[in-house]
């Protein structure tokens, strides 16, 4: 029986330059209890576009493993989605995700988060990328928040995050405009 794991999927894709993971693909890679590390480093991978369920810690860890294995990443596009009304990730899971975030993105220039709600895990990912991307030029955040007060609070928090890049600009897009 064939299993869906990193070795089967990514093992022969060492020269890949662009990777688009949509739908349930990350979730299918996260099935199982054991930790999965990518079998190789993807030196040629410059663009990653993923759909990420922020309520599924296993899926988040798969995405983190992918980022950690992509040292020459230049562009990251993340469509965030939530399979529960309020995506609450337990604190212990947040710590596990934080412990896995180890990369420095020396070539990452553009990051785009879509459908941002400002959950703890989303903020952890934004804070990490800003702090570890010394040549980042633009981080685009398109929110899916209806409450204007929550949007303003979130904006204030985002502006306080430390940035490794002096030129990093956060562009916060309101889908209503």
Q: Is residue 13, in this structure, part of any structural domain at all?
A: no
Q: Is residue 131, in this structure, part of any structural domain at all?
A: yes
Query: The pTM is what?
Result: 0.80
Q: Is residue 43, in this structure, part of any structural domain at all?
A: yes
**Is 80 exceeded by the pLDDT of residue 128?**
yes
Condensed to tens digits (0 to 9), the pLDDT of residues 9-63 reads: 566 677 788 988 876 556 555 555 444 455 578 899 999 999 988 887 778 878 8
Number of domains in the chain: 1
Q: What is the pLDDT of residue 74?
A: 97
Average pLDDT over residues 106-125: 91
Domain that holds residue 169: 19-173
Among 151, 176, 153, 87, residue whose Cα is nearest residue 125: 87
pLDDT class for 174, splitting at 50, 70, 90?
A: confident
């Amino acid at each position: 029986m064939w299993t869906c794991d990193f070795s089967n999927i990514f093992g022969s894709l060492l020269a890949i330059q662009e990777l688009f993971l949509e739908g349930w693909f990350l979730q299918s890679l996260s099935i199982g209890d054991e930790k999965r590390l990518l079998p190789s480093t993807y030196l040629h991978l410059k663009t990653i576009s993923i759909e990420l369920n922020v309520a599924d810690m296993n899926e988040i860890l798969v995405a983190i493993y992918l980022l950690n294995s992509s040292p020459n990443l230049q562009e990251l596009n993340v469509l965030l989605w939530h399979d529960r009304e309020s995506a609450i990730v337990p604190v212990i899971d947040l710590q596990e995700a934080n412990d896995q975030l180890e990369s420095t993105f020396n070539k990452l220039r553009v990051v785009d988060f879509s459908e941002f709600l400002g959950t703890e895990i989303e903020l952890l990912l934004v804070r990490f990328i800003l702090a570890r991307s010394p040549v980042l030029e633009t981080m685009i955040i398109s929110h899916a928040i209806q409450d204007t007060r929550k949007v303003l609070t979130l904006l204030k928090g985002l502006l306080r995050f430390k940035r490794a890049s002096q030129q990093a600009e956060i562009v916060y897009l309101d889908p209503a405009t």
